[in-house]
């Protein structure tokens, strides 16, 4: 009786009144204590309303059923295939929809539907993987910003690969605390590429110089990301860098000259194929023969071997002192040793290597100058005369300042 009266009544009312009636009937089905016959009639009636020509009626059904676990599955699935403003209501919230339903809606729907799916309170790794493959940048931004999304490392990398040029997506990814270190490196690399293209496009730097600046900035960022990472994260980072063509001899040399031995060991382990313990033993062999064998096994350029050997020798001699004086940046002492070792090479082999080492030295000098300037400012705030309390400035920085002061003054 209910269904006959209701359907007869809806044929003569305005769309707004039909929408009100549809909402009331749907809520009665969901929350009222109806007897089985009345419940069946109500379900039949609201299902029949899917054919209503007015989107107001179908939207009223979607609003009533969006959060209800007891909503008829056939009704919710049909609403999920409706117009974007209707489908989005159930795609964003309905607990009735399975992962298979959501993947299908993401595949055949529009970007608005994918954004709604990406913002659901909980998303499985499988659904996140599907979105990473097919969603646009806007939906991926919503996915990256969703703390309830179980995004795997592979899905993160796919997101960066497909839409890493989107600045807002990069920002959302970098804000995630669970972002793996190799993915963070991938995002950083895309950011560096975007900045390089902007700078060269503006004509501020030549393309070649922009690429060099970008590469060196990316290398510094890479080593910064690697700092404090455990062995497993370092392995993944190195594997990603090698696959992306970024695990260069220059990066490994920079890591060694910066005292980042954990990263150096991980890189040489990946390149040589030897066990990590074996690599550590060869690298830290004080006689140097182990380092030479490891270097050749890793397939690194022969011309760079003297620089690596000299840097490692300096590390063996003054490891603790180097760490204290140079901090996280490049060690000028190690660079000087490497330059001296390479100067004996033929010019054809030496000039590019020495130029690289000189750029490292200039970078290290600037880093030292920044630290010294901060120390001088801090000292000046409490005592205008620096010599009254020199012990407050790191000894290595003060020695460097005194050594370079005459040349800088000239």
Could you report the per-residue pLDDT of 68-97, keeping only the tens digit for each? Answer: 999 999 999 999 999 999 999 999 999 999
Predicted local distance difference test score (pLDDT) of residue 408 = 44
The pLDDT score that the predictor gives to residue 284 is 85
Q: Answer for the pair 10, 23: CB distance below 8 angstroms, yes or no.
A: no
pLDDT for 248 beyond 80: yes
What pLDDT, on the 0 to 100 scale, is given for residue 277?
Answer: 92
Reply yes or no on whether the pLDDT at 215 is more than 80: yes
Average pLDDT over residues 265-290: 89
pLDDT of residue 3: 60
Q: At what angle do helices 249-257 and 305-326 cross, to 10 degrees?
A: 40
281 vs 269: CA distance, rounded Å: 11
Give pLDDT, residue 398.
57
Residues sharing a CB contact under 8 Å with residue 304, sequence separation 6 or more, in sequence order: 249, 253, 353
For the chain, first and last CA: distance in Å? 103
Which of 170-184, 221-235, 300-314 has the highest mean predicted lDDT (pLDDT)?
Answer: 170-184
Neighbours of 401 (CB within 10 A): 18
DSSP 95-118: TT--HHHHHHHHHHS-HHHHHHHH
Q: Is 248 left (phi over 0), alpha (psi -120 to 50) or beta?
A: beta
Q: What is the DSSP string of 242-273?
A: HHTT---HHHHHHHHHTT-HHHHHHHHHHHH-
Q: Which residues lie across from 123 on neighbouring strands?
A: 149
Question: Which segment, 124-138, 183-197, 293-307, 393-407, is predicted with the most confidence on average?
Answer: 124-138
- Of the pLDDT bands very low, low, confident and very high (cuts 50, 70, 90), residue 374 is confident
304 versus 114: the higher-pLDDT residue is 114
Average pLDDT over residues 143-160: 96
Q: Which long-range contacts (CB under 8 A, 24 or more apart) does 364-369 make?
A: 364/326, 364/329, 364/330, 364/331, 364/332, 364/335, 365/332, 365/400, 365/404, 367/327, 367/329, 367/330, 368/329, 368/332, 368/397, 368/400, 368/401
In this prediction, residues 100-118 reach a mean pLDDT of: 94
Locate 334 and state its tokens: 């190690």
Mean of the per-residue pLDDT values of the chain: 84
Q: Say if residue 342's pLDDT is above 70.
A: yes
Helix (H, G, I), strand (E, B) or coil at 66: coil
Q: What residue spans of 32-166 are helical by DSSP H?
A: 36-48, 55-65, 73-80, 84-93, 99-108, 111-118, 125-134, 137-144, 153-163
d(CA 331, CA 261): 13
Give me the pLDDT at residue 11, please.
64
Phi, psi of 384, deg, nearest 5: -70, -15
The b-or-e profile of 300-309 (16+ CB within 10 A means b, else e) is: beebbbbbbb
What is the average pLDDT across 152-157?
A: 95
> Hey, which of 163-167, 319-323, 365-369, 384-388 has the most confident mean pLDDT?
163-167
Q: Would you state the pLDDT for residue 317?
A: 77
Q: Is the pLDDT of residue 324 over 50?
A: no
Higher pLDDT, 321 or 295: 295
Least confident of 199-213, 280-294, 390-404: 390-404
Query: Is it the case that residue 321 has pLDDT exceeding 60?
Result: no
Contact 332, 302 (CB under 8 A): no
pLDDT band at 37 (very low <50, low <70, confident <90, very high): confident
* Band (346; pLDDT cuts 50, 70, 90): confident
**C-beta separation of 246 from 186 below 8 A:** no
Looking at the chain, the whole-number percentage of residues with pLDDT higher than 90 is 45
Distance CA 127, CA 114 (A): 11
Q: Report the pLDDT value the prediction gives residue 325, as an integer from 0 to 100.
A: 40
Given a cut of 60, whether residue 4 has pLDDT beyond it is: yes
Q: How many CB atoms lie within 10 A of CB 262?
A: 17
pTM for the model stands at 0.70
Q: How many CB atoms lie within 10 A of CB 273?
A: 10
More confident residue, 143 or 376: 143
């Amino acid at each position: 009786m209910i269904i006959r009266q209701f359907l007869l009544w809806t044929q003569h009312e305005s769309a707004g009144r039909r929408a009100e009636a549809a909402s009331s009937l749907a809520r009665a089905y969901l929350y009222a204590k109806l007897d089985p016959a009345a419940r069946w009639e109500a379900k039949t009636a609201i299902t029949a309303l899917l054919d209503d020509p007015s989107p107001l009626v179908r939207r009223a059904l979607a609003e009533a059923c969006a959060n209800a676990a007891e909503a008829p599955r056939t009704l919710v699935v049909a609403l999920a295939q409706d117009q974007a403003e209707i489908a989005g209501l159930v795609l964003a919230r309905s607990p009735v929809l399975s992962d298979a339903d959501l993947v299908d809606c993401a595949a055949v729907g529009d970007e608005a539907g994918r954004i709604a799916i990406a913002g659901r309170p909980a998303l499985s790794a499988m659904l996140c993987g599907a979105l990473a493959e097919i969603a646009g940048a806007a939906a991926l931004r919503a996915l990256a910003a969703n703390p309830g999304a179980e995004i795997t490392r592979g899905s993160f990398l796919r997101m960066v690969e497909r839409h890493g040029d989107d600045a807002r997506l990069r920002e959302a990814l970098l804000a995630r605390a669970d972002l793996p270190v190799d993915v963070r490196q991938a995002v950083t690399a895309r950011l560096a590429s975007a900045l390089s293209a902007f700078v060269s496009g503006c004509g501020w730097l030549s393309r070649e110089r922009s690429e060099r600046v970008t590469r060196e900035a990316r290398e510094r960022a890479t080593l910064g990301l690697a700092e404090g990472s455990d062995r497993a994260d370092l392995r993944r980072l190195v594997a990603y860098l090698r696959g992306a063509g970024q695990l260069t001899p220059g990066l490994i040399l920079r890591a060694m000259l910066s005292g980042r031995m954990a990263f150096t060991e991980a890189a040489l382990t990946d390149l040589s194929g030897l066990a990590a313990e074996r690599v550590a033993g060869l690298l830290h062999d004080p006689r140097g023969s182990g380092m030479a064998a490891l270097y050749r096994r890793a397939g690194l350029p022969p011309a760079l071997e003297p620089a690596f050997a000299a840097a490692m020798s300096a590390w063996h001699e003054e490891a603790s002192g180097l760490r204290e004086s140079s901090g996280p940046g490049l060690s000028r002492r190690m660079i000087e040793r490497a330059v001296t070792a390479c100067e004996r090479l033929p010019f054809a082999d030496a000039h590019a290597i020495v130029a690289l080492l000189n750029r490292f030295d200039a970078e290290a000098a600037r880093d030292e100058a920044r630290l010294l300037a901060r120390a001088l400012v801090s000292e000046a705030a409490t005592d205008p005369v620096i010599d009254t309390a020199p012990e407050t400035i790191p000894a290595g920085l003060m020695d460097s300042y005194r050594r370079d002061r005459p040349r800088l003054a000239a």
